[in-house]
Structure 1
C-alpha cells in the first residue's frame, strides 16, 4: 500500500494530523502503532504523492482498530481516498474543521461503516458540506437516528455517484417537504435498506438521474402503491423493494425497464395478477416476487423472453403455475425457490431440465410423485442447498451420493438406507422419514458437519463411533431411533445441542460430556444408561452464565412440564433430561450449580440420597421432575426460592417430613407429591407433630438447616451474578444484544445474606 519515497518525504503538517488521528486508537494488530518514524509516507495504510509528498490516500479498512475515530484526517488537504470501514471504533470525533478548511476538498471516496451494527453514533451530517468532490459515501450501520435532515445534508453533495446508508436507524424522509431537497442529479446508486421508514413512496422520489442504476429500499416499513414514476428510471439495473408493506398491483409498465437485471418485490402485500410484461425483461437475471397476495396463474408466457434468468423465487404464493409437461424454459437457473406453493402431486417436470441448479427449495409444495431416474439425477448434481422438506416423497435413495453442502429431506416418506453424502456437507436434516439400517461408512468423512438431525427414523447401529471425526459439530439430534453403543469420551468441543433420546444407548455417561463449554440442551432420556452421574467439576459454561449464541434454527421435540411439545430451539432455553434410564447414586451437587438450567428431568431412574439443598440457587428453573426414584429425606426449604417454577413432580420417592411453606410449592396439586407415604403438609394431608419432626432431627435443628439451605442457595445465585439483557436491534433475522454482567463480590456475599436474614424477622 506504500510507495517508494526515496526523494520526497511527507509533509510535516500531514504527519502531525495523522499522529493526532492515531492518538485515541487501540491497535491490536500493531498496524498504526508503528507510525513513529519521520517519513509518514512509509506508514502502513498511508499513500503519498511521489512528487509533492502530500498524503492522498488513507486505507485502514478491517484493521481491528478500536477506540476513537478522529475525523481530523479530513483536514488533509490532498486526501482523495479515506477508508476506515470494518473496524471496532466506539466513538466518532468530529472537530470543527469546516472553519479550518481553506482549500477545496479533494476527497472523492469516504467509507466509515463499522464492523458491528450500532456501535457508532452520529448526531448530524453537517460536517459533510465542505466535501463537495465526494463521489462515494458509505455510512452503513452508523446510528443516525438523531439526524432528521439527513436528506438535505447529502443533497449538497452534487458530485455524489454512490450513497450507502443501510441500517442507520433513519426515520421518515419521504414527505413533500423533504423531497424538495432531493437534488442528486449525478447519483447512480442508493442503498437505504434496513431503516425505519414508514411513509409511502411519492412520485417525486424517483425524479433522479436518468442514468440511475441501483436502488435498495428493502427491510423498511414503506407502504402504499408502487409509483408509476419508477418507470422513468430507464437505466435501472437493480431494484429491491422487498420486506416492506407495499400494496396494490405491480405496474403493467414494469416491462418498460429494459435494462433491469435484479428485481425483488417479495414479502410485501401486493395483489392482482402477475403482469405478462415481466416476460419482456430480457436482461433480468434475478426475479423474486414471492410472499405477496397475488392471484391468477403464471404460465410459460410470463417467462418467454427471460433468457438470462439465473435466480427465481416464487415462494409462499397461492397463484397457479400452469406449465405444459413438455415445457423447456429459455433459461438455466442456479437458484430456485418454490417453497410453500402448490406444485404437487407430481414433481414439476420443467425443473428436471435445469442442469446448473446450485440451490433448490421445494419444501411444503405438495409433491408425492417423482420420475425416479430424473429425480435421482437432479438431486445428485446440486452442490449447494437441496431443501425438499415437508412433502410426501417416497422411495429408496440409498444408492445415491448427494453432493450438496446443505441437505433437508425431513418430513417425507423415504425408506431403506441413508444416501451417501459429500464430505463438504455442513447441514443434514433427514428427520421424520422411515430410513433404516446403519449410518453409511462414508459419513465418517463429514469433517465440516455442523448440524445433523435424524430424529424419528428406524436407524440402528453404533452411530456415535463417528463423533470423534465430526469435530465441527454443533447440533446433534439422533432421537427416536434404534441406535446402540456407548457414549464416547471424545466429543466434538463445539456441541450446543445433544439429543440421543429414545434409543438403546448403554453404559455410563462419560465425565467429558459435562465439560462441553457451549452445551445448553442435553437430552439422553429413554435409553439404557447406567451408573452414577460424574462428580467432577462441570464445565458447562452456557448453563451457568447466559451467553447469547448464534444458532441454526432447529425444531426440537422438547419434553418438559410433564408433557412434550415442539419448539424452535434457541440459545435462551437450557435443558437437561436424563429420565427413564438406569442411573443410580446421588444427585451431584455439581448438577444443581448449573443455575441457568430451566428444565431438569431425572425421573424414572434409581437415584438415592437427598435433594441437594443448594437446588434453590437454580433461579431460572421452570420445570423440575425427580419422580419415580429412591430419593429420601426432607424437601429442601430452598425450593421456595424457585419463583419461575411452573411444573414440579416429586412423586414416588421416599421423601418425609413437611412440605416447605412457600407460594410455589403449595400451588401444585397433590399429584406432584403422591407416592411419598411419610410426606405431609399442603397440598397433602396436615402433618402431625411426629410427622413434621422426624426422630432424627429436632425442631430447632431442622429450622437451622432450612435457614442454612436458603442462605447457601441465595449465595449460589448471587455468586454467578445476574444479567440485564437489552435488545438493541434485530436485522435480517439476527438479534444483537447488550449483556451487562454484575458480579457480586464473593467476600461480601455471605455478609449480605446474613443481613437479609437478620432483617427478615422484623419484616
Structure 2
C-alpha cells in the first residue's frame, strides 16, 4: 500500500507513483498536503473512489493522473472546486454515473480523458455544452463510454485550440452537426463505432489541419463528397463499414499526404479514379466489399509505397494490369470476388 506517512511531506508539490504495483484502497487523506500541484497514480492496482471533498484536500491541484487504477463510483460534482486543474486523466477505470456538467467550471482545463469507463450522460450530451467554457482545451477523449446521446450543435463552440476530439464507441446517435466545421484546428477526429446517421457534413471541409479522420462503423449515408478533398493535410481516412454510395471523388488523388484509405464495406459504385496513382506515399488502400466497377487503372502501379491493397468483393472487370508487378513493397493483395478475366501478368512473379 501507499504509506500514509507521505502526508507528512507538507512541502511536497509533485507526487508521481505511476507504473508500480501499489494496491489497497485509495485513501485521499494521504495527499493531505495543500501544496500538491501534480498527482500521478496511473497504472497501479488501487481501489476505491474519488471522495466528494477531493478538492478540499487538493486545493492547488493542476494535473491529476489516475488512469488504469480500478477506481469505482462517480466523478464528484464538486470537481468544479479544483479550479486550477489543467489536466484531468481518469481513463480506463470503472467509473459510473453521469459526466458532471460542473466540469465546465474548470476554465483552465486543457486536457480531459475519461475514456474507457462506464460513464453516461443525458440525451443532449449537455456536459459537452458546459465544456465550451474552457477556452484552452486541446484534447478531449470520452471514448468507450455508453453515452447514448446525440452530438449537440454546441460542440462547434468548443475551444478553437482543440486538437483531438475522440468519442469512438460511445453509442452516440443522430446526425453529425454542421457546427463540427468550426473546430478549425482539429488534427484528430474519431467518431467511429457509434450509431451516427445521415451524411458527412460538407463543413468537414473547413477542418484544413485534420490529419486523421475516422467515422468508420456507423450508419452514414450519402456521398463521400468533394469537400473531403479540402483536407490537404490528411494522413488517414477511415470511412469503412457505413452505407456511403456514389463515386469515389477524383480529387482524392490531390491529397498527396494520404497514407491510408479505408472505404471498405460501403455501397460505392464508381470506378477507381486514375488520379489515385498520384498518392505515392499511400501505404494502405482498402476499397473491399463495395459495388465498384470498371477496369483496374494502370496508374495503381504508381503506388510504390503501398503494403496492403484490398479490392475484393467488387465488380471490377477485364484483366489485372501488368503495372501491379511494380509494387515491390506489397505484402497483402486481395482481388477475390470480382469479374476479372485473362491471365495473371508475368510481372507479378517478381513481387
Q: Distance in 2 between matches of 1:494 and 1:350?
A: 41
Query: SS at the partner of 2:281?
Result: helix
Query: SS at the partner of 2:83?
Result: coil
Query: SS at the partner of 2:96?
Result: coil
1:335 aligns with 2:63: yes
Matches within 5 A, 1:98-117: none
Q: Alignment partner for residue 46 of structure 2, among 306, 314, 319?
A: 319
Query: SS at the partner of 2:179?
Result: helix
Structure whose residues are more often strand by fraction = 1
Name structure 2 gaps, 5 residues minimum.
Answer: none
Q: Distance in 2 between matches of 1:488 and 1:329?
A: 53
Matches within 5 A, 1:450-461: 450-461=187-198
Cα 1:430–1:537 shift into 2, 3 Å: closer
Pairwise CA distance, 1:450: 0.6
Matches within 5 A, 1:566-577: 574-577=283-286
Q: Distance in 1 between matches of 2:147 and 2:16?
A: 31
Query: SS at the partner of 1:302?
Result: helix
Query: SS at the partner of 2:213?
Result: strand
Q: Is the 8 A contact 1:345 1:368 kept in 2?
A: yes
Q: Distance in 2 between matches of 1:581 and 1:352?
A: 49
1:413 aligns with 2:122: no
| Equivalent position of 1:520 in the other structure | 259
| Equivalent position of 1:447 in the other structure | 184
Aligned pairs, how many?
336
Q: Distance in 2 between matches of 1:323 and 1:607?
A: 58
Q: Distance in 1 between matches of 2:244 and 2:189?
A: 18
Question: Which one has the largest radius of gyration?
Answer: 1
Name structure 1 gaps, 5 residues minimum.
Answer: 1-272, 544-573, 643-763
Pairwise CA distance, 1:416: 2.0
Normalised by the length of structure 1, the TM-score is: 0.42
Q: Is the 8 A contact 1:405 1:426 kept in 2?
A: yes
Q: Alignment partner for residue 211 of structure 2, among 474, 488, 502?
A: 474
Pairwise CA distance, 1:386: 0.9
Q: Is the 8 A contact 1:464 1:488 kept in 2?
A: no
Pairwise CA distance, 1:630: 1.0
Higher relative contact order (CA 8 A, sep 6+): 2
Q: Is the 8 A contact 1:464 1:487 kept in 2?
A: no
Normalised by the length of structure 2, the TM-score is: 0.89
Cα 1:275–1:617 shift into 2, 3 Å: same
Q: Is the 8 A contact 2:49 2:73 kept in 1?
A: no
Q: Distance in 2 between matches of 1:323 and 1:634?
A: 67
Q: Distance in 1 between matches of 2:4 and 2:208?
A: 51
Q: Is the 8 A contact 1:491 1:513 kept in 2?
A: no
Matches within 5 A, 1:63-462: 273-304=1-32, 306-321=33-48, 325-326=52-53, 328-347=56-75, 351-370=79-98, 375-378=100-103, 381=106, 383-396=109-122, 397-399=124-126, 400-401=128-129, 402-403=131-132, 404-419=137-152, 420-421=154-155, 422=158, 423-462=160-199
Q: Is the 8 A contact 1:431 1:457 kept in 2?
A: yes
Q: Distance in 1 between matches of 2:249 and 2:82?
A: 49
Query: SS at the partner of 2:172?
Result: strand
Q: Distance in 2 between matches of 1:322 and 1:624?
A: 50
Q: Alignment partner for residue 628 of structure 1, among 337, 340, 347?
A: 337
| Equivalent position of 2:279 in the other structure | 540
Pairwise CA distance, 1:500: 0.6
| Equivalent position of 1:598 in the other structure | 307
Pairwise CA distance, 1:429: 0.8
Pairwise CA distance, 1:604: 1.5
Q: Distance in 1 between matches of 2:24 and 2:146?
A: 32
Cα 1:405–1:613 shift into 2, 3 Å: same
1:274-320 per-position Cα deviation (integer Å, ceiling 9, x unaligned): 3333222223222211111224444243122x112112111111134
Pairwise CA distance, 1:512: 1.4
| Equivalent position of 1:252 in the other structure | none
Q: Is the 8 A contact 1:491 1:512 kept in 2?
A: no
Matches within 5 A, 1:635-714: 635-642=344-351
Aligned-residue CA RMSD in angstroms?
Answer: 2.1
Q: Distance in 2 between matches of 1:443 and 1:492?
A: 14
